[in-house]
Amino acid sequence: MSMIILLRGRAGTGKSTLSNELAKRLAYPVLHKDDIYDTVAGSVQEHSVRNRICFDFLYRFLADVISAKAHVILDFGFNQPDDVLRLKSWIAERGGVLATIHCHCSDERVWAQRLAARSVNPLPNQRITDLETLHSHYNAPDAHMAGELSVDTVLPIESSIATILSFLAYTRGTSA
Confidence of residue 140 (pLDDT cuts 50, 70, 90): low
Confidence of residue 139 (pLDDT cuts 50, 70, 90): low
**N-to-C CA span, the chain:** 8
**Domains of the chain by range and CATH?**
3-170 (3.40.50.300)
Share in percent of the chain as helix, strand, coil (round to 5)? 50, 15, 35
Confidence of residue 128 (pLDDT cuts 50, 70, 90): low
User: CB under 8 Å to 18, separation ≥6 — which residues?
Assistant: 7, 101, 103, 151, 153, 157, 160, 161, 164
Check: CB of residue 75 under 8 Å from CB of residue 15. yes
Higher pLDDT among residues 103 and 115, named by residue: 103
For the entire predicted model, the pTM comes to: 0.88
Confidence of residue 135 (pLDDT cuts 50, 70, 90): low
